[in-house]
Amino acid sequence: MLAGSFQCAVGALFFMKDRVERANTTLVAAYIAIICAFFIGFSMLSYAETRSSTVHEVRRQAEGMMKWLSRNLAVSREALRLMADRPAQTCEPEYVGGVVDTLLRSLTVDQIQLGQGSQTLCTWQPSPEKLKGALAHCATTRTGGGDKMSLFVRGQGNRWAQAKLDASCLVTPLLLSLEATNVSVRFVQDSDEGAGSFISDLTAPWLPGSSLYISAGEEPVGLIVTVPEWLIFKTWLNQIPLFAALFIAFGTIGWYGPLAILRRRISIDGQVVSAIRRGDFYLVYLPTVDIETGEWTGVEALLRWRHPTHGILQPASFIPWIERSPQIFETTRWVMQRAAIDIARFNKERSVLDISINVPPNQLSDPRLVSIADEAFGAAPQALNRVIIELTEREMGDYASEVVQDVVRKLKERGAQLALDDFGVGFSNFACLHAIAIDYIKVDKSFLQETRGREGEPSAMGSIVHLAQEFGVTVIAEGVETDRQLDRLRKYGVRIAQGFLFSRPMDADSILTTLRARNQAA
């Protein structure tokens, strides 16, 4: 039975910690997930923006080139119309060459034919040296050359002129401006069968790219410019280190800013602060009884937590963690202030009740304990004469230190009494008896358990009572639940006890109701 009770206590002890750790883990995981989701979403938007800006820049350059090409083609048509309108005798190489050098010098002309009806009157071709020099400035090194574009113009009297241009040279300005971007360019002439010729293929995109059709206005030609997807991805990838640095910076700010605030709120410290502010803490009182007369000698203030998520929390699930946290001071302040208000109400009905307040031993080394006691009960002499400070022995305490001795002295000067809680199972009960003036020892209920085959327990209780008599302190028995246990206490001379046999913990209003009923019965 004792082992089972211990296991239950240990389970309750870690209840609050496990809940807080799970909540903290969930919060951190959610924060990381949010940061990652924002990073992925921002990256996708950035990729779309990079894609749009890259395509827009290529379109801008291609449209600029096509405006240049359209103007040159318009001039070329006027030059051909001029030749077509001339008499037949003007079909001389010198004349044609002069026109080409004057009006068509921005284009690479492979051949010019002049004719009338179905008859070709003459054909002009540049010299191989001249053609080679013109092609030297074109993009034939990439395309291989050989792709032609035809311009056909009709003149007066059924005369006509036709020029064959090297199409590679037409797209050279665009190819040079886009050389660093590695796009694919196709030159399209509407009059060609199959919708044009493949002029330049600077890359073979392995992902679907973005294709643009750029028209030359009134001219029956256009460009299909394809921006490969890997180029867009490469451009976007260069921005990733900057994005990552920004998100790391924002994530760090969030980690030590809003997230730290949330983590503090869900931590035990943060929840204690919120509980005090919202009024989630409340006190119940367990009466202490004179077992010979049945009269109440006092009440012990027990802290409860009305948690907004987990419901009513018992002390074992949160008190040990509060005692180790910085919030133990504020918690003790709240308990003392609330207990001072309630004991004043109780003593209006019965003026002899003491009130016991649990305090961890480490608070005896904090001079502020005296100040919060003064705040709650007043600083007048003997203001604490109805207050019993119960030392909860969950951790080792240095009772011989000067600070502890000074705090104990000041509490005693104000009339406070000291009690050792759970005597016999704590860390340093016997050392405390020697170091400070203890008024009560509260014997742990494990010494009263009715278990078979453990006859040593009653003798242990007798030894504790004998030890208390040697030190001149009063014994209070805890956890009395049966008449048999009560008989044992009488046998060993214990007069004060508390437990469910007499009363369960009650709130302040129930204590007042019970006191009034007792007064009326008396």
What does the pLDDT average to over 258-266? Answer: 64
| 435: phi then psi, degrees, rounded to nearest 5 | -85, -40
| pLDDT of 36 over the 80 cut | yes
As given in the structure block, the two tokens for residue 244 are: 């990552």
pLDDT for the residue numbered 18: 66
pLDDT for the residue numbered 505: 93
As given in the structure block, the two tokens for residue 453 are: 């085959």
CATH number belonging to domain 279-521: 3.20.20.450
Identity of the amino acid at 432: C
In which band, very low, low, confident or very high, does the pLDDT at 103 lie, cut at 50, 70 and 90? low
Phi-psi region of 215 (alpha: psi -120 to 50; beta: other; left: phi over 0): beta
Q: Percent of the chain, pLDDT > 70?
A: 71
Spell out the long-range contacts of 303-309 with Cβ–Cβ below 8 A and sequence spacing 24 or more.
303/331, 303/335, 303/358, 305/275, 305/280, 305/281, 306/280, 306/281, 306/282, 307/271, 307/275, 307/280, 308/278, 308/280
Lowest mean pLDDT among 1-5, 258-262, 432-436: 1-5
* Spatial separation of the C-alpha atoms in residues 350 and 521, rounded to whole Å: 13
As given in the structure block, the two tokens for residue 29 are: 């995981």
3-state SS assignment for residue 435: helix
What does the pLDDT average to over 465-479? Answer: 88
* Spatial separation of the C-alpha atoms in residues 64 and 454, rounded to whole Å: 103
* Spatial separation of the C-alpha atoms in residues 139 and 132, rounded to whole Å: 13
Nearest Cα neighbor of 91 from 166, 167, 155, 165 is: 155
Other C-beta atoms closer than 10 Å to the C-beta of 64 total 14
Element (H, E) at 16: helix 15-85
What's the pTM value of the predicted model, to 2 decimals? Answer: 0.57
What does the pLDDT average to over 465-477? Answer: 88
Q: What is the pLDDT of residues 163-200, one digit of tens each?
A: 887 766 666 666 656 554 555 555 566 544 333 343 34
| pLDDT of 104 over the 90 cut | no
Q: Could you tell me which residues come within 8 angstroms of residue 393 by beta carbon, excluding any fewer than 6 positions away?
A: 361, 420, 421, 422, 425, 426, 427, 428, 429, 432
pLDDT for the residue numbered 149: 73
pLDDT for the residue numbered 196: 39
pLDDT for the residue numbered 373: 94
Pick the residue with more confidence: 356 or 470? 356
pLDDT for the residue numbered 2: 37
Q: Could you tell me which residues come within 8 angstroms of residue 186 by beta carbon, excluding any fewer than 6 positions away?
A: 196, 197, 198, 199, 200, 223, 224, 225, 226
Q: Could you tell me which residues come within 8 angstroms of residue 125 by beta carbon, excluding any fewer than 6 positions away?
A: 110, 111, 112, 131
Q: Could you tell me which residues come within 8 angstroms of residue 443 by beta carbon, excluding any fewer than 6 positions away?
A: 423, 424, 461, 464, 475, 476, 477, 478, 494
Pick the residue with more confidence: 313 or 480? 480
Q: Which regions of the chain carry the CATH code 3.20.20.450?
A: 279-521
Q: How far is CA 144 from the centre of its chain?
A: 58
In which band, very low, low, confident or very high, does the pLDDT at 417 lie, cut at 50, 70 and 90? very high
